Amino acid sequence: MPAVKISSKLDEKVWKDLKELANETHQNVSGLLTEAVREYVQRRRVRPSVLRHLERSMEENEQLGKLLAG
């Protein structure tokens, strides 16, 4: 997949830590940033199927929810 060039700002300490990690792990900063952003997006994105299961569970357990809220 082609790479996209971006421009952004980071806290100086975060940048220093990132560069140190790249050196320690023999990776480049670009690879670490790509990996970090990929993992962040995966964690933050709620899959539609998860939402459907949540909604179904809430419907199935509506009475229990009312009792617990009561």
Q: What is the pLDDT of residues 9-46, one digit of tens each?
A: 999 999 999 999 999 999 999 999 999 999 999 888 87
In a domain, 3, yes or no: no
In a domain, 4, yes or no: no
In a domain, 6, yes or no: no
**Domain limits at 61?**
12-69
In a domain, 1, yes or no: no
Q: How crowded is residue 21: how many other Cβ atoms within 10 Å of its Cβ?
A: 13
pTM for the model: 0.62
Stretch 45-54: mean pLDDT, rounded? 85
In a domain, 30, yes or no: yes
Q: Is the C-alpha dihedral spanning 51, 54, 56, 59 positive or negative?
A: negative
**Domains: count for the chain:** 1
Contact 18, 32 (CB under 8 A): yes
What's the confidence (pLDDT) of residue 44? 82
Q: Report the distance separating Cα 56 and Cα 49, nearest Å.
A: 11
What's the confidence (pLDDT) of residue 45? 84
In a domain, 53, yes or no: yes
Stretch 52-57: mean pLDDT, rounded? 91
What's the confidence (pLDDT) of residue 47? 83
The vertex-12 CA angle with 29 and 18, nearest 5°, equals 25
